[in-house]
Amino acid sequence: MAEALNRHEVVYSKNRPLESIFKNTVARVLDFLILNHNFDYSASEISKITQIPVRTLQRVLPHLVKKNLIKETGKIGNSRMYMLNTSSELADLLRQYVIGTINLNIDIARKKQKPYEPNTLLKHKQGLAAR
């Protein structure tokens, strides 16, 4: 099983790199597991976070295991646990794409912001003091 760590899942938004291209639930599951690659999840946990019906996940997850993109890490009660297969070359390439796309989007967003002017606050304080 995956190492027991406190979970700090990545906030799941509508800006999913793989799903924006492939427009399907497999891509949504991969986006989620790539961004949370340090943890394992049950189908019901993945369903709750990604808003994919459990019945759909019960069909998709075994397919991704068979393709060696994710791995089953064990069972808790009756629930199978899944995580990204970090030893898979294809999973690693997909992870590089997802992280690269996110970093590119961050860079684009930063360029659209006005540059920070450190003297702005000082000028504002001086204007208040002059009143």
User: Each residue of 40-63: pLDDT tens digit?
Assistant: 999 999 999 999 999 999 999 999
- Alpha-carbon torsion 44, 102, 111, 119, what sign? positive
pTM for the whole structure: 0.76
Domain 17-130: give its CATH code: 1.10.10.10
Residue 15 binned pLDDT confidence (cut-offs 50, 70, 90): confident
The reported pLDDT for the residue numbered 99 is 96
pLDDT at 96 over 90: yes
Q: What average pLDDT is seen over the chain?
A: 86
**Under the phi-then-psi rule, with left for phi > 0, alpha for psi from -120 to 50, and beta for the rest, what region is 74?**
left
Joined together, the tokens standing for residue 73 give 């890490």
Is residue 115 over pLDDT 90?
Answer: no
- 3-class DSSP assignment, residue 119: helix
Point out the least confidently predicted range of 11-25, 34-48, 99-113.
11-25
As given in the structure block, the two tokens for residue 28 are: 């949504």
